[in-house]
Structure 1
Amino acid sequence: MHEQPVSLDFSRLFAALQCCVLVHDSVSKDILWANPAACDVLGFTLDELKPLKAPDMSSNAHQYAREIGVDWLQRAADHGSSSIEWCYRSKAGENILTEAIAFRVELAQGPVVMVQFRDIAAEQATRLDLLRTESRLQTFLRNLDEGIVVLDDDARVLYASSSAGSLLHLEAEQLTGGDFTRVCDEESAAALREVLAMTERDGPPTDGQYRLRTADGRKRWFAGRWQYIDIESDLRGLLLLFHDITDRVQVEEEHRRDAQYLNYLARYNAMGDMAMAIAHEVSQPIAAAHNFVAGVRGRLGGGADHEALDWGLKNATLQIDRAAQILSSLRQYVVRLEQSEQLIDLNDIVTDCLYFIDVRARQSEVAVAWLPSTDPLPVRCDKVLIGQVVMNLAFNAIEEMTRWPADRRSVTVSTARNGSLAELTVRDLGQGLTAFPDGLIFDGAFTSKENGSGIGLALSHRIITRHHGTIHAAENSPRGAAFSFALPLLSE
């Protein structure tokens, strides 16, 4: 068993230290001793070091001035210890950046200040490189179009990049620590939980589309890619990279609506062909029946015995005339839906539609008021398509009024000149726009009718916008809804 080391052994142990050590007088701050490691780093022998002062062995930079060094050593002498970043200068003139710690040590002959220092130049360079790299990464992340979040198994956000916050109009700190499903709509939240439950630790990335809610309440579409990550002693969870694809989704939706619109026009065109054929075929027997009735009445003469028969034939003639009028109106209105623009007054278009509107209104016991503009409203448009919009808005208003008491069933159709625009407005006295979710009135995805498809308003929107006009809905006063569209007026 070894005996306790004697003082000579301690001297040898101290001399073998790889850490650099300088011993200063606690009062004068003169160097009393240095271990071999310090002599090697500074390039001086012990005898050369002893007479040196701070300016002889420190950097010339102002932060390493003698008074600063003396003050540092004095703090250690007064308080027991003090640390500083100090730049020594070697005998060869090389600056050596160090981390230096001074301790007050009580020796037999009195107190001294022992300084331990180590070269940190390499560490400092590495630290600066890391700071530069981190700064670059932060700059890249802030300017990314793609957001980054890491979630744990409970969908709690462990990390969120600045770009993720920007995409959702939040600060990254507002996302961190919260449940990520709170920014998802119901369907996307369910899909997210399914991904969390099914993503394998070493599996391939998973792609999907999600609808997220931004801080201003808007819902936008994002494409996301999931990947499980495990960064030792740092992050472990599900990594989501996501970017905004709302514009792309809207374009796809526009294409889908265009396809629906073209399909509708094809069906409507076929209906027009059939209606024209029926009108042509039926008009001939109606004309013949009218002639036969007229002939019978002529043969009957005016005798009193034939008054009842004459009355019946007279009314039959009136009904035949009414049927002929209906077919005539149908023939004039239903034409092939080719894009055929013409100069026409908006009032004339509404007048042509009034017969069909009145028929629908009488069936539903709804009063329709027509308030035409006293000013001419010349527009260039496809008469049939704009007429279709007029009837869509009027029919919707009439159908809404069927749900209310008979004394309240009123619809008003009006036109007016508004600056450079010709406006048409259809007003009802129903429940207003409360049944229409924000932003869904004209997108074809919503209808308040029990058996409706929701396509009428969407088609109306497409027709008006393609004619360079605008269409909108507002609350009516004192109650109900007001649907309007405006088309550019033509100058004389």
Structure 2
Amino acid sequence: MFPTRRDIEQMILITGTGILIHEASSKNILWANPAACDMFGFSVDELKPLKAHHMSAQERQYRREVGVAWLQSAVVNGSSRKRWKYRAKDGTDFLTDACATLVHCEDGPVVMVEFRNIAEEVVLEQELSRVSESLQRIMTHTQAGIVVLDDDNCIDDISPLAAQLFSSTPADLAGIHLEDLGPCEPRLSDENVVARLNGGVGSVRISQELTNADGTTIWLAGELEIVAHDGIRSRVLTVRDVTERVEWERRNAYQEAHLQYLSRYNAMGDMAMMLAHELGQPLAASANYLSGLKTRLTADTVDRRSLGYGIDQIEKQLQRAAGIVQSVKRYVRRIESTAAVMDLNETVAESLYFVRLRAADHGIRVFADVPERDLLIEGESVLIGQVIINLCVNALDEIIRPTTEVKELAVQSGEADGTAFILIRDQGRGMAGGPGNRLAHGAFSSKQDGSGIGLIISEHIVERHGGTIEYLPNTPRGTSVRLAFPLVDSVIGPANR
């Protein structure tokens, strides 16, 4: 069954598409359907006398001669399509998608213009265009590259910057498995990665190591997550070049390890020297007593009291040697430990044992003002102890000089303004002409054969523990060295160390 002429007329009358009928030659309006009348706000009789400039927008591209040329193009070519902005009776403009078609009627040719309001579509189109352009600019210019992966972790799409990070082009990378370009950590097939992505609970941090043709290494870091759009779930990796950061971290780790090596090497050197020196005295005394006992044993008569006295003295000297060894063991028992909560006063006391041994050889008195209460800081006891010993030995070397009249070393600890501090004072030459607080910023030493390396190591150890080291004038003369470290919460007890 085919629609009748009346059916077609009825469809024209009820369609939402506006229809204008123009005379082919004059371009005058002959008729308009109800939809067109509603859009314009005019009746058919009001529309008939109107010309293009009466019912079109005032912009230059919609002037009367342009509209006439458009309709004439339909007369010549059979049809012509154009975006045309009409003007309604109330003065508002509306943009349309209009198609002019030549129709041969019984009374002569006419041009039928079908048009629909596309203002909302244009706004949406412009918005989508802006979003698309913005995304393209972001993908092109941002410092982060974008990689879209399929379910098998093969590259489905990739931004120009991301392709550049992989030293390739988007076209060459399409379809390549991401891990074929370089190992990822964690692996993309790792159960935790798969579970996290499938569960939609957030992103996964991924690092990737790439090797260039010249053998150099590039490190990438990014966030892999599931992005849902238009009913599709895509794996999107936002990736950045972090090579400089990784190389810096490696250099820093090497420097930290080297610092610890130098510090511990220096500490062990000091311990070895102290052991060699301090053990020499009790061992030599023991040898003397043993020699005396051997002499007495060869005599005609043996004095038991004399033998007992000699044995007692040998035992005392050996106990003294054992005490020195035990002290060294206590000092280095945490040589490989990591940072932990420690009592600074305990470390000061342990360090002063060795300082006093050296001071006693030169008749130097060591005055220590160390409170019994804990000064809890976070750090490595052996390293901080090495700093204390190093600074005290430097002070002793100054006190030993013949020009230093007061043969005393003063060591004090305490707390102030949320820090635990240690003061090491001598009354030597002081820092007149010296670099003051810049002592530890370079290889400075006032010793004739000194390199200043001990000061540099001490400074690095203190800085690594978040502390400060200052070299100040002492009163009435000499130098005062102040070490300070941040205190930790006093509720942390020994059980938590």
Normalising by structure 2, what TM-score? 0.50
Cα deviation, residue 190, structure 1 = 7.9
Q: Aligned partners of 1:384, 1:88: CA distance in 2, in Å?
A: 94
Give the root-mean-square deviation of aligned CA atoms: 4.3
Q: Deviations over 1:295-319 (max 9, x none)?
A: xxxxxxxxxxxxxxxxxxxxxxxxx
Aligned with 1:269 (options 261, 266, 274):
266
In the TM superposition, what are the counterparts of 1:12-31 in structure 2 within 5 Å?
12-31=10-29
Cα distance change on mapping 1:176 and 1:8 into 2, 3 Å: same
1:205 paired to 2:202? yes
Q: Match of 2:237? A: 240
Partners of 2:250 and 2:258 in 1: CA distance: 12
Deviation at 1:101, TM superposition (A): 0.9
Cα drift, residue 127 of structure 1? 2.3
Confirm or deny: 8 A CA contact 2:21 2:113 kept in the other structure: yes
| Alignment partner of 1:90 is 2:92 | no
CA deviation digits over 1:47-102, x for unaligned, max 9?
A: 22223222222122221122322222222223332110011122232222111011
Q: Which residue of 1 aligns with 2:145?
A: 147
Query: Which stretches in structure 1 are left out of the alignment for 5+ residues?
Result: 286-335, 342-378, 388-458, 463-492
Distance across 1 between alignment mates of 2:138 and 2:234: 22
* Shift of residue 385, structure 1, vs aligned partner: 8.2
Q: 1:110 to 1:181 in 2, by over 3 A?
A: farther
Q: Name 2:121's counterpart in structure 1.
A: 123
1:250 counterpart = 2:247 = yes
Q: Which residue of 1 aligns with 2:40?
A: 42
- Counterparts of 1:198 and 1:6 in 2: how far apart (Å)? 64
Structure 1 residues 67-78: aligned runs within 5 Å: 67-78=65-76
Residues 412-423 of structure 1 aligned to structure 2 (within 5 Å) = none
Paired residues of 2:81 and 2:99 also in contact (CA < 8 A): yes
Return the alpha-carbon distance in structure 1 between the equivalents of residues 61 and 213 of structure 2: 51
Once residues 64 and 167 of structure 2 are traced to their aligned partners in structure 1, the CA distance between those partners, rounded to angstroms, is 53
In the alignment, the residues of structure 1 paired with residue 452 and residue 273 of structure 2 have an alpha-carbon distance, to the nearest angstrom, of 20
Q: How far apart in 1 are the matches of 2:200 and 2:443?
A: 60
What amino acid does structure 2 have at the position aligned with 1:254?
Answer: R
Partner SS, residue 123 of structure 1: helix
Cα distance in structure 2, aligned partners of 1:114 and 1:226: 56
Secondary structure of 1:86 counterpart: strand
Residue identity opposite 2:229 in structure 1: I
Cα gap change, 1:45 to 1:385, in 2 (>3 Å):
same
Residue of structure 1 in register with 2:256 after alignment: 259
- The CA distance in 2 between the partners of 1:4 and 1:148, in whole Å, is 56
Identity of aligned residues (%): 36
Count, aligned residues: 300
Match of 2:57? 59
Q: Secondary structure at the match of 1:192?
A: coil
**Structure 1 CA distance, aligned partners of 2:47 and 2:212?**
66
1:33-432 equivalence runs, <5 A: 33-142=31-140, 144-161=142-159, 164-165=162-163, 175-184=173-182, 186=183, 188=184, 191-194=187-190, 200-213=197-210, 218-232=216-230, 235-273=232-270, 276=273
Secondary structure of 2:198's aligned partner: coil
The code of the aligned residue for 1:28 comes to S
Letter of the 2:204 counterpart:
D
Give yes or no for contact 1:201–1:229 (8 Å, CA) kept in 2: no
CA shift, 1:176, in A, is 4.9
- The whole-number CA distance in structure 2 between the counterparts of 1:206 and 1:72 is 56
CA offset digits 1:17-47 (Å, max 9, x no partner): 1110011222332222211111111122212
Secondary structure in 2 aligned to 1:191?
Answer: coil
**Structure 2: how far apart are the matches of 1:199 and 1:133?**
29
**Contact 2:443 2:451 survives alignment (8 Å):** no
2:466 corresponds in structure 1 to none
Are the counterparts in 1 of residues 204 and 225 from structure 2 also a CA contact under 8 Å?
no
Residues 272 and 132 from structure 1, CA distance in 2 versus in 1: closer, same or farther, beyond 3 angstroms?
same
* SS of residue matched to 2:54: helix
Normalising by structure 1, what TM-score?
Answer: 0.50
1:6–1:139 Cα change, 3 Å: closer
